[in-house]
């Protein structure tokens, strides 16, 4: 590790960051032992659907809770896949964002997409973010639960 840091500025180690749970920006990540219907997921997190298109047959098999600003500042192309854990059939939840434009632009340009995007307590939601989610046929949801309550609810899904 020291050699890689000295000679390559940690380039090789960064390739394997996905193995560790504590990557910068990821606050929590979990795989569920069973699928959670998207309608139930949204209801339980007291979510408000912003997009017009939604496939009600979608199931969630996990979640990733990220600090939106930290993730956008620090993530690179190899680190992006760590957001998905073992499955893309998950809710990708962004907290600490103001308008939500950057997360949706990043999701739009990357070939791998989550099943659901949730903004936790945003200042407002940029209309472009909603348009991009609609274009991707991806539900975009807002929740204003407290972060602690949201985390507890997300983890509870995995223990039911």
> By residue range, what is the domain housing residue 29?
20-157
Residue 69: inside a domain, yes or no? yes
Please say if the pLDDT value at position 98 is more than 90: no
pLDDT attached to residue 20: 46
Provide the whole-model pTM: 0.78
pLDDT band at 97 (very low <50, low <70, confident <90, very high): confident
Q: What angle do the packed helices 127-135 and 101-109 form, to 10 degrees?
A: 20
Segment 138-151 mean pLDDT: 93
Residue 6: inside a domain, yes or no? no
According to the 3-state scheme, what is the secondary structure of 91-108? EEEEECCCCCHHHHHHHH
Residue 88: inside a domain, yes or no? yes
Residue 113: inside a domain, yes or no? yes
Please say if the pLDDT value at position 137 is more than 90: no
pLDDT attached to residue 23: 62
Domain count, the chain: 1
The CATH number given to whatever domain includes residue 47 is: 3.40.1390.20
């Amino acid at each position: 590790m020291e050699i890689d840091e000295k000679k390559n500025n940690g380039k090789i180690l960064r390739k394997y960051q996905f193995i560790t749970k504590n990557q910068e920006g990821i606050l929590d990540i979990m795989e569920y032992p069973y699928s959670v219907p998207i309608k139930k997921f949204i209801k339980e997190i007291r979510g408000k659907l912003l997009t017009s298109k939604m496939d009600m047959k979608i199931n969630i098999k996990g979640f990733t809770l990220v600090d939106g600003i930290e993730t956008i500042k620090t993530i690179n192309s190899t680190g992006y896949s760590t957001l998905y854990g073992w499955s893309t059939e998950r809710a990708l939840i962004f907290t600490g964002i103001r308008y939500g434009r950057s997360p949706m632009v990043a999701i739009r340009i990357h070939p791998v997409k989550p099943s659901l995007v949730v903004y936790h307590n945003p200042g407002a939601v940029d209309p472009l973010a909603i348009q991009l989610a609609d274009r991707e046929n991806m539900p975009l949801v807002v929740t204003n639960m407290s972060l602690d309550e949201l985390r507890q609810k997300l983890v509870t899904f995995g223990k039911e």
